[in-house]
Structure 1
Amino acid sequence: MDDEELIRNVSTARRQKLGYGPHTAKDGAEAITLYLEANGQPFDLVIMDLTVPGGMGGKEAIARLRQLDPQVKAVVSSGYADDPSMANFSEHGFCGVTPKPFSFRDLSELLQIILGS
């Protein structure tokens, strides 16, 4: 989930290259809708932008997703490394963090750590 189309497109291409079938959302509301439309088949991982101007950001979206699925695996991503949600990601319901911009290698390592090989 990211409000910037370019970031969604690049991230999608990177995840596809790693063998994943990504879905994209422009904000938290759209991410929640996609999660609900998965009909009980939760996503392996949700990567959320922390701040979405004019829309639902990651902190609010993860709270709602946790209500739907307490086992959801979600990573917070942001260019604002000094935000408390980045430093204390687990306190905000996330299982990982990746600062922007992140490289292909960073993404690959993050996915391996959280999802296994």
Structure 2
Amino acid sequence: MDDDASVRELVMAALSWLGYEVELARDGAETIRRYSEALEAQRPFAAVILDLTVPGAMGAREALEQLAKIDPDVKAIVSSGYALDPAMSNFREHGFSVSKPYRLEDLAEVLRQVVRQDAPSPKEA
């Protein structure tokens, strides 16, 4: 999820290259809708990448709260161009953050950590 179309396209290309299936969303509301639809279709997402700040729309914090109500085991990565934002340090403590601009190896490593079975879920963070 990212409000910047170029970031969405870049992430889709990178994750597709790494072998992941990717769905894109502009904001938290669209992310929640797509996540719910995937669960109902019994095709749950392995993880979601949420932009911390989406001007004029739902960002990562609220979206993650809603996703956790739908699926307590949701796996999430919070991303931001504002790496020094205090909220990012809280997510970073638990291994659930990646700063923009993305480096492919950083994004791949964080995603691998989050989707591993033994990775703590955001509700434990």
What TM-score do you get using the length of structure 2 for normalisation? 0.85
Alignment correspondent of 1:24: 24
Q: Distance in 1 between matches of 2:11 and 2:18?
A: 11
- What is the correspondence of 1:78-97 to structure 2 with a 5 Å cutoff? 78-89=80-91, 96-97=96-97
- Cα drift, residue 9 of structure 1: 0.2
- What is the correspondence of 1:95-114 to structure 2 with a 5 Å cutoff? 96-114=96-114
User: Percent identity among equivalent residues?
Assistant: 48
Name which of structure 1's ranges 103-112 and 7-16 shifts more when overlaid on structure 2: 103-112
- What is the correspondence of 1:1-117 to structure 2 with a 5 Å cutoff? 1-38=1-38, 39=40, 40-89=42-91, 96-116=96-116
What TM-score do you get using the length of structure 1 for normalisation? 0.90
SS state at 2:77 partner: strand
Alignment correspondent of 2:120: none
Name which of structure 1's ranges 58-67 and 106-115 shifts more when overlaid on structure 2: 106-115
- Cα drift, residue 82 of structure 1: 2.0
Q: Distance in 1 between matches of 2:60 and 2:5?
A: 16
- Cα drift, residue 84 of structure 1: 2.1
Note the residue ranges of structure 1 that are not aligned, 5 or more in a row.
none
Tell me the alpha carbon deviations over residues 59-88 of structure 1, each in whole angstroms, 9 at most, x when there is no partner.
110000011111000010001112222111
Tell me the alpha carbon deviations over residues 7-44 of structure 1, each in whole angstroms, 9 at most, x when there is no partner.
00000000000000000000000000001111143210
Q: Distance in 2 between matches of 1:5 and 1:13?
A: 12
Q: How big is the alpha-carbon RMSD for the aligned residues of Structure 1 and Structure 2?
A: 1.7
How many residue pairs get aligned? The number is 114
